[in-house]
């Protein structure tokens, strides 16, 4: 491995750093964006059942808010359940925007790595080409310097693509996952509003 890094030259180090960051972000998002953690099964039914039994007590609202991101959205609505339907919906939408922002955390960084890695690899290719041209002397080319320039060009291009492809795949996957969670949270929040205002049993 060290021999490959040595052959790839100094342009490989920014790519290596980008790969470490990308792997860390992918692992973090895989652990965070789990359905059981974001949208616990049966949460709406539990909230509605407790609401009918004991009402929206401060303790119950705080417990719901701490349970999950969807619980935060429900709690925002429950804090304003005595207000009009519009006010309750607005409070849920505000909480939903904050939750969506949290769910999209680090995705911009991952998308940036996916976009910039091929460019960083291309930069390494340019450095390698400079090495190749630098190996040309009036007496002919320096084979060792020529080989080094070619290895820099090829290793950096390849490594840039290796980083970019999985980063792009996971970025798209996480974006789609977040979008799906947001739509489902909206649907369940609307059901809660309808239950509270007597439009649904």
Look at residue 139 in the predicted model and tell me its pLDDT.
Answer: 62
108 alpha-carbon distance from chain centroid: 7
Look at residue 163 in the predicted model and tell me its pLDDT.
Answer: 94
| Element at 140 (helix H, strand E) | strand 140-141
Rounded distance, CA 38 to CA 136, Å? 60
Are the C-beta atoms of 172 and 101 separated by less than 8 Å?
no
What is the pTM (predicted TM-score) of this model? 0.83
Three-state secondary-structure class, residue 11: coil
What confidence tens digit (pLDDT) does each residue in 140-173 have? Answer: 666 777 777 788 888 888 999 999 999 999 999 9
DSSP designation for 42 = T
Look at residue 145 in the predicted model and tell me its pLDDT.
Answer: 74
* Residue stretches of the chain with pLDDT short of 70: 1-8, 134-142, 199-201
| Element at 152 (helix H, strand E) | helix 143-196
Mean pLDDT of the residues in the chain: 87
C-alpha distances (whole Å) from 37 to each of 42, 75, 163, 178 are: 12, 16, 28, 13
Task: Tally Cβ neighbours within 10 Å of residue 14.
Answer: 16
Closest to 20 in 3D by CA, of 167, 129, 149: 167
Are the C-beta atoms of 94 and 80 separated by less than 8 Å?
no
């Amino acid at each position: 491995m060290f021999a490959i890094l040595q052959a790839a030259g100094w342009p490989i180090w920014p790519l290596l750093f980008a790969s470490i960051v990308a792997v860390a972000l992918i692992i973090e998002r895989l652990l965070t964006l789990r359905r059981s953690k974001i949208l616990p099964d049966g949460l709406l039914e539990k909230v509605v059942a407790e609401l009918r039994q004991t009402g929206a007590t401060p303790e119950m609202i705080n417990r719901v808010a701490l349970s999950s991101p969807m619980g935060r959205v429900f709690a925002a609505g429950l804090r304003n359940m005595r207000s009009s339907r519009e006010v309750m919906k607005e409070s849920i939408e505000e909480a939903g925007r904050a939750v969506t922002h949290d769910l999209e955390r680090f995705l911009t960084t991952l998308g940036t790595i996916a976009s910039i890695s091929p460019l960083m690899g291309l930069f390494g290719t340019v450095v390698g080409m400079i090495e190749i041209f630098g190996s040309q002397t009036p007496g002919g080319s320096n084979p060792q310097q020529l080989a080094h320039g070619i290895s820099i060009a090829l290793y950096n291009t390849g490594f840039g693509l290796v980083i970019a492809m999985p980063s792009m795949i996971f970025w798209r996957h996480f974006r789609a996952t977040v979008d799906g969670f947001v739509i489902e949270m909206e649907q369940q929040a609307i059901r809660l509003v309808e239950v509270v205002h007597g439009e649904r049993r």
